[in-house]
């Protein structure tokens, strides 16, 4: 919650003017959530995540400077490690939801937990600090996804984006000389 002070000016029907100051408390209204679309291998030590951020407030927007952090475990407990770098939204826009893509370092195990609007520096997280955007519900800021890298076995490539497996038949060809 934050407060603002406004000067109120009243004029009577006879032209008499009086004023007073009023302190107005404004409660937080934002409610950020995150959903991962895909996570794919991006080299031997990184992954590429496609995700959507939403502000579930009725007139919500995605602001510039909103942080999305990725962890290798639940960030509410001390065993979680922040996987850098932290993603920060660029310019704000009128949309209630926006899609983004981000590269970050991967670790094992391969379950990733992204979190929107946390401070990204200490455990337990999910609590506001001076760099977060105030919102009404912090309990829905984290989701999870299990990533299983692809494997090649007997001429078949199995790729596991999200929760469904895709199998492709591979064939070998001689390289041109």
State pLDDT tens for residues 132-177. 676 666 677 777 777 766 555 555 555 544 444 555 566 666 656 5
Give me the CATH code for the 32-168 domain, please.
Answer: 2.60.40
Contact 118, 67 (CB under 8 A): yes
Look at residue 11 in the predicted model and tell me its pLDDT.
Answer: 93
User: Residue 11 has which token pair?
Assistant: 């004029």
Instruction: Report residue 115's pLDDT band, with 50, 70 and 90 as the boundaries.
Output: confident
Residue spans per domain, the chain: 32-168
pTM of the shown model: 0.62
Measured distance CA(24)–CA(159) in Å, rounded: 55
- Count how many residues are written for the chain: 177
Statement: residue 65 has pLDDT above 70: yes
The mean pLDDT value for 79-102 works out to 84
């Amino acid at each position: 919650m934050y407060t603002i002070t406004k000067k109120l000016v009243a004029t009577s029907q006879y032209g008499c003017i009086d004023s007073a100051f009023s302190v107005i408390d404004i409660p937080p209204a934002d409610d950020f959530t995150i959903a991962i679309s895909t996570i794919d291998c991006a080299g031997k030590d990184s992954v590429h995540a496609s995700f959507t951020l939403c502000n579930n407030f009725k007139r919500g927007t995605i602001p510039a400077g909103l942080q999305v952090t990725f962890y290798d475990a639940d960030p509410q407990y001390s065993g979680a490690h922040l996987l850098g770098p932290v993603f920060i939204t660029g310019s704000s826009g009128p949309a209630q939801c926006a899609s983004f893509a981000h590269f970050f370092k991967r670790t094992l195990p391969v379950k990733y937990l992204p979190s929107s609007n946390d401070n990204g520096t200490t455990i337990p997280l999910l609590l506001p600090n001076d760099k977060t955007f105030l919102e009404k519900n912090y309990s829905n800021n984290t989701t999870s996804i299990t990533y299983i890298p692809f494997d090649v076995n007997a001429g078949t490539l199995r790729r596991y984006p999200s929760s469904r497996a895709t199998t492709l038949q591979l064939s070998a060809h001689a390289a041109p000389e």
